[in-house]
Every structure is written in structure tokens, then in C-alpha cells.
Amino acid sequence: MEAGFTYLDQFITERATRRCWWQALREKFQKPTFSSRDTAGLCPLTFSLCFQRIPEGEHKTKMVTLPCSAISEVFGAISSGKTMFLHNFLAEASARDEVCALVDSRGAFDPLSASAAGVNLRRLLWVRCAGRLEHVFKAADLILHNGGFGVVVLDLCEVPSRDLNRIPLSYWYRFRLAVENSPTRLIVTSDQPLVKSCARAQLEVKRECFLWRGPVFHGIHFEAQSRRQQHVQLAG
């Protein structure tokens, strides 16, 4: 009995310590930022999804996953690094043998840079919609209702704002219902926030700087800021 109590005490203490650590972390970083610079100096693409800077002055990596069975939104200005972020997310998913789908509103996807980021193109369904927004949503709806996809990306980048603002909110509600009982992550990427309350996680990607090595363009440093911290999971 005594040994059992000791073990229980120890367990409770561990849980309490862990909770304190989480609370301290949340208090410290009310809006955590994920920077491509945090991995190792100037190597922006060798991270896993994205990383969080934990204590002041110390760079410690933490993997952040976007929530399953929900809509996540990634937005940012042009050349902010959001496509690079998505390629890395797709690479992580395909490394887990998940089947991914990309509904590309403008047909702008570059298979070469995606493959270089580690995306397994054989397990990626690429749907090109040639700029027709109604086709984008029909295609996304068909894919979500088919089920079985680990990640579905809805790429609405470079779609004019006047068209984006006309998207009825009911579309997002329908998509939220479609994914809520499945392991699918629906990621909506655009130049501006769109999904509003239907998104469980919102990440804003901001460019820090372009990297030049002499005259050669080398990469983009970006920072992803979570708008809704409580839904971003720290996984290790």
C-alpha cells in the first residue's frame, strides 16, 4: 500500500510539474511565434513543420501540428513563405504515408520545389481549377466527402480579394462538418484570413527577409504566428 501511495504521489507530482510547465509556457508566450531561423542558424527548410522558440535566448525546437478533423488557415502576403510552409507540411504528411490532396485554384503548384522539400508526389492528388472559384469549392467538397485523405490543402492564393470576399460562410461550415468526424486536416491558404470562426487554427506567415548568397537567391526566412494559441499542439 505504501509503495502504491508513493507511486501515486510521484505521478501526481509529475503531472503537476508538467501542468506548471505548460502554464508557464503559455503565460510566457501568449502568441507563440514559429520561425524558420530557429533550427540551426540559417537553414530554413530543415525543420519539421515549424518550430517554437521556448525560453529567452535559448533555441529549443518544438514540433507543432495543426489539428486533425478541423480546418486550419495559413495566410500571408506575397513571398511570405506560406507555400514553403505548406510544402513542408505536405512532406511531413507524406512521410507518415498519408495521402494528400491539393486543390489548386490557379494551377500554380510547382512539383519540382515540392519534391525538393520532400513531398511524395505519388501520394499527392493535384487538382487544377484554372481560376474558377466555383470549381475549387466543388472539387474540395468531392475530395472531403470521399474521405481517406490525411491532408487536403485548399490553395486560394492570388485569387482577387473581391472574389474571396464573396465566398459564402456556409461553404466553410459545410467543410467543417465534412472533416469533423474524419482524421483529415483541411488547410486553407490564402493572402488574407477567410475562414473566420470555422477555422480551429490560424497561422499568419510573415517574411523576415530574403536570403541572398552573393548574387544568388537562397531562400526566405519567415515567421509563422499563431492567432489561436490554444489549438496549436506541441508534440515533442
Residues 98-117 that bind another protein (CB under 8 A): 98-99, 106-117
Q: Which of 105, 226 has the CB closer to another protein?
A: 105
Q: What distance in Å separates the CA atoms of residue 27 and residue 13, rounded to the nearest whole number?
A: 21
Residue 195-224 contact track with another protein, rule CB under 8 A, x = bound: ------------x--xxx--xxxxxx----
- HEC letters along 66-85: CCCCEEEEEEECCCCCHHHH
By the 10 Å C-beta count (0-12 exposed, 13-18 middle, 19+ buried), 9 is classed as exposed
69 near another protein, judged by CB under 8 A: no
Range 18-45 burial, b when 16+ CB lie within 10 A, else e? eeeeeeeeeeeeeebbbbbbbbeeeebb
Residues 120-179 that bind another protein (CB under 8 A): 120-130, 135, 138-139, 142-143, 146-150, 157-158
Residues 3-42 that bind another protein (CB under 8 A): none
Evaluated on CA atoms 154, 97, 64, 172, the torsion sign reads: positive
81 near another protein, judged by CB under 8 A: yes
Q: How far is the CB of 6 from another protein (least distance, A)?
A: 35
Binding site for another protein (CB under 8 A): 43-46, 77-84, 86-87, 91, 94, 96-99, 106-130, 135, 138-139, 142-143, 146-150, 157-158, 183, 207, 210-212, 215-220
